[in-house]
Chains A and B, each alone.
Chain A
Amino acid sequence: MLQEFFSTTVLIGILASGIRLATPYLYAAIGETIGQRSGVLNLGVDGIMLMGAFSAFYVVFRTENLFLGLIVAMIVGGLMGLAMAFISVTMHAEQGISGIGVYLFGLGMSDLLFQKLVNNVETVQGFPEIHIRYLSDIPYIGEIFFQHNILVYLAYLLVPIVGFILNKTTFGLKIRAVGENPQAADTLGVNVALVRYITVTVGGVFSGIAGASLSIALLNVFQQNLTTGLGFIAIALVYFGGWRPLYVMAGSLIFSFVNALQVWVQVLGIPIPSDIAVMMPYLLTIIVLVLSAQRARQPSALSKPYMRSG
């Protein structure tokens, strides 16, 4: 049985499905990373994802236009991010609580809209798998990396781009400064509120895409609470990755590989109780979180509303 486990089919299967599974986590976690680096904790990710997932699904269901669906999901996600920015930046609200509010709003609203507008189990034709020419023909490697839908590729492309913006550009410097010491940044003429508005809104856009990656690319359906708390795991992955996009990606991949692994463990009939198997990825996340908590330092101003004194 164990030999079977190390066969190429199984290894390729685990790697390919891990890469696929990591996609929504990656969008949501990268978006959340940008926001948190500027000092805003947005716990509403899951709710924004649900709204993104529903709006993308609904647009594609009605128009069969995938890109329109994606754009609408981005707009809806961006608007919810903007709302979160207004609540936390302009109104100086407690971020943890208001994030939960945004989550509950998204959870309820997406279900209400689904019931009123669709009210049936329907499927759509989502983004097809793209086999990248030449690359997808490479044995093993091709199957693992180059036979996914476009949203999977874009998610991984986003990681270096966001890493570059955060670390190598003036705007990235402003984001980090606002997240570490908004007072100092303000004195130097950085518009703290504007920077945070931009990062939280962009985070919302990414969460919207995360939702769309489920409803019009990976699953092609919508259901009440489609994300089942996936957005909260994404927030954990931001901590897991120590607020660095590359490590956040590593965290998303490890979590997803372990999830794919536990699915295979059961399919191959390896005698581990299913309850233990499904716990594995979550257990791992907790362990790594505990270990990384010693190491990584969070942005100093995280979750602290900034009020100009004097």
Chain B
Amino acid sequence: MKKFTYLLLAVLFASFLAACGGASSNTTSSGTYKVAVVMPSAINDLAFSQSMYDALMKIQAERGADKFEVAVSDGVFVVEDAAAAIRDYASKGYNLIIAHGSQYGASLKEIAPDFPNTTFAWGTAGDTFGLPNVFAYEALSQEGGYVNGVMAAALSTSGTIGVVGPIEVGDAKLYVDGFKAGAMAQNPAIQINVNYIGSFSDVALASEAAQTHAAAGADVMTGSAQMVVGAIGVAEQQGILWFGTQSDQSSLAPKIVVASQVYDWTVVINDILDLMSKGTLGGKVYAVSLANQGLLIKFNPDYSLPAEVKTLAENTIKGIQDGSIKVEVGQ
């Protein structure tokens, strides 16, 4: 028992030292950033979390790991745990802490004022709480949804499209609404069946929803969030075309994925870093869009998309970029 007590003391002492070490490194030389990110699912979920991780890795590759240090806490779906991690990173002297999930907002609002020299960013959201050290970012995912919808309607021969949505909120709802608008614009007679399964992670129900869409006659499907792997599996089995969003989902089913809307947060993070170097620690709301290249449509190279549909998609992208096509959802 005595041994155990000593051991415990030693561990406590060591962690105390580590904490001190962290705090003293708060001041970093200019051009060097310590970035921490907290996200709700895995960094390789082929969806929301991966989109942020990929962006950070891209910036790290450009700037070098010594200039751009990245710490990741992924799979933090419990908000209280995320709040603890955010606070922990802030007290360890990270310069930029990204809370990648709209559910983390309330925690950030409490924590950010305690660390006025640290920059926080969160999304998808449009609110900085009026705090000088908080950035917010959101995605106009309805734009890519619209482009995907146009292609889906052009490719559907059965005239029925199935949508597997998670919960009817945030960028998932924007994407689905944009997708519907695009498909209707291309073919007003198209039948679009939408199903929200009430979860971001229930793969089994997503799979069953896809089975149901197939039975209802859908020959093209789309969906949003990390549970869609269940739906993509069904689509692949039944030879149904799939449109992805958030990350490039081509690798999951190369035969049936037509295209994916990809979130590229690089533009946002680079601008935040730029502002930070000028002494602005927050206050700005970003929206990634097709126009600012924060949203990209990635065509699956393994799927032979008919040339006229590809042209149609490219024209739609141009139209949204120059404003001649208005995607009027989520306003």
Smallest Cβ-Cβ distance to B42: which chain A residue: A224
- CB-based contact A121/B46 at 8 Å: yes
Given contacts A218-B204, A268-B193, contact A223 B211 (CB under 8 A): no
- CB-based contact B208/A224 at 8 Å: no
Given contacts A115-B42, A123-B233, A278-B198, contact A21 B212 (CB under 8 A): no
Enumerate B167-222 residues with CB–CB distance to A below 8 Å: 167-168, 193-199, 201-205, 207-209, 211-213, 215-216
Q: A213-235 interface mask toward B, CB cutoff 8 Å, 1 = contact, 0 = none?
A: 01000111101111110100000
B75 at the interface (CB under 8 A from A): yes
Given contacts A221-B229, A274-B168, contact A17 B199 (CB under 8 A): no
Q: Smallest Cβ distance from B75 to chain A, in angstroms?
A: 6
A13 at the interface (CB under 8 A from B): yes
Interface centre among B162, B197, B203, B207 (most CB of A within 10 A): B203
- CB-based contact A267/B162 at 8 Å: yes
Given contacts A121-B44, A269-B193, contact A263 B205 (CB under 8 A): yes
- CB-based contact A228/B202 at 8 Å: yes
A-B pairs under 8 A by CB, number: 111
- CB-based contact A224/B203 at 8 Å: no
A119 at the interface (CB under 8 A from B): yes
A111 at the interface (CB under 8 A from B): yes
Given contacts A9-B216, A13-B212, A221-B233, contact A267 B195 (CB under 8 A): yes
Measured between beta carbons, the chain A residues less than 8 angstroms from B197 are: 263, 278
Smallest Cβ-Cβ distance to B45: which chain A residue: A121
- CB-based contact A214/B204 at 8 Å: yes
- CB-based contact A123/B252 at 8 Å: yes
Given contacts A121-B44, A268-B193, contact A263 B75 (CB under 8 A): no
Q: Given the complex of chains A and B, what is the CA–CA distance between A219 and B208 in angstroms?
A: 9
Q: Smallest Cβ distance from A10 to chain B, in angstroms?
A: 8
Q: Please classify how large the interface on chain B is, using the bins under 10, 10 to 19, 20 to 34, 35 or more.
A: 35 or more
Smallest Cβ-Cβ distance to B216: which chain A residue: A267
Q: Given the complex of chains A and B, what is the CA–CA distance between A10 and B237 in angstroms?
A: 20
- CB-based contact B212/A17 at 8 Å: yes
Interface centre among A17, A219, A275 (most CB of B within 10 A): A219
- CB-based contact A225/B201 at 8 Å: yes
Q: Given the complex of chains A and B, what is the CA–CA distance between A225 and B199 in angstroms?
A: 12
Measured between beta carbons, the chain A residues less than 8 angstroms from B141 are: none
- CB-based contact B208/A17 at 8 Å: yes
- CB-based contact A226/B203 at 8 Å: yes
B93 at the interface (CB under 8 A from A): no
Q: B216-247 interface mask toward A, CB cutoff 8 Å, 1 = contact, 0 = none?
A: 10000000001101100100100000000000
Q: Given the complex of chains A and B, what is the CA–CA distance between A121 and B226 in angstroms?
A: 10
Interface centre among A21, A115, A274, A279 (most CB of B within 10 A): A274
Interface of A is mostly: helix
Q: Smallest Cβ distance from B222 to chain A, in angstroms?
A: 14
A259 at the interface (CB under 8 A from B): yes
- CB-based contact B194/A266 at 8 Å: yes
B41 at the interface (CB under 8 A from A): yes
A127 at the interface (CB under 8 A from B): no
A86 at the interface (CB under 8 A from B): no
Given contacts A13-B212, A214-B204, A225-B201, contact A121 B229 (CB under 8 A): yes
A247 at the interface (CB under 8 A from B): no
- CB-based contact B207/A219 at 8 Å: yes
- CB-based contact B233/A219 at 8 Å: yes
Q: Given the complex of chains A and B, what is the CA–CA distance between A111 and B42 in angstroms?
A: 10
A24 at the interface (CB under 8 A from B): yes
Select A120's contact among B44, B193, B212, B253, beta carbons within 8 Å: B44
- CB-based contact B198/A274 at 8 Å: yes
Select A263's contact among B42, B44, B77, B209, beta carbons within 8 Å: B209
Q: Smallest Cβ distance from B183 to chain A, in angstroms?
A: 14
Smallest Cβ-Cβ distance to A14: which chain B residue: B212
A20 at the interface (CB under 8 A from B): yes
Sample (11) of A-B pairs whose CB atoms are under 8 Å apart:
A12-B215, A21-B208, A120-B44, A214-B203, A218-B204, A219-B233, A223-B203, A263-B212, A267-B209, A274-B168, A275-B168
Q: Which residues of B contact A (CB under 8 A)?
A: 41-42, 44-46, 75, 77, 162, 165, 167-168, 193-199, 201-205, 207-209, 211-213, 215-216, 226-227, 229-230, 233, 236, 252-253
